[in-house]
């Protein structure tokens, strides 16, 4: 399950109030974004301590400037409110999982 993030303030609260977070940034008519979302959700079932947030850039246009995003989808991993890993456009799920697994080992 994920939290639907709808404001910049909510985004900041989300990443700063959780030890390890994943953010999925997508847009409305992006087939790749909609295909990657369930893959990330399935992966995160194996990591119960990770909080998952989804931002729809079509609804929150200012997030592009806040996160320096030029394309979607974007997958971000934050630890203690700091960005630790980013993948955009072409999401390599193995690399993403490898990075997440390394950080998850720290919080266990």
Residue-wise pLDDT tens digits, 15-51? 999 999 999 999 999 999 999 999 999 999 999 999 9
Residues 6+ apart with CB under 8 A from 88: 69, 70, 71, 72, 73, 74, 75
* Global confidence as pTM: 0.95
Question: Tens digit of pLDDT for each residue in 56-108?
Answer: 999 999 999 999 999 999 999 999 999 999 999 999 999 999 999 999 998 76
Burial of 94 (0-12, 13-18, 19+ CB in 10 A): exposed
Enter the tokens of residue 49: 């301590």
Q: Which domains, and CATH codes, for the chain?
A: 1-102 (3.40.30.10)
Enter the tokens of residue 16: 């700063």
Sole residue written with tokens 């995160």: 44
pLDDT of residue 108: 66
pLDDT of residue 49: 95
pLDDT of residue 1: 87
Confirm if 34 and 28 have CB atoms less than 8 A apart. no
């Amino acid at each position: 399950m994920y939290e639907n993030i709808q404001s910049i303030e909510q985004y900041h609260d989300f990443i700063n109030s959780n030890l390890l977070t994943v953010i999925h940034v997508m847009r409305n008519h992006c087939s790749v974004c909609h295909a990657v979302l369930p893959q990330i959700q399935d992966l995160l079932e194996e990591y119960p301590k990770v909080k998952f947030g989804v931002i729809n850039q079509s609804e929150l246009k200012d997030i592009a400037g806040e996160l320096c995003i030029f394309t979607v989808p974007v997958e971000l991993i934050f630890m203690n409110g700091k960005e630790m890993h980013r993948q955009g456009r072409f999401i390599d799920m193995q690399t993403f999982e490898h990075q997440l697994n390394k950080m998850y080992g720290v919080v266990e």
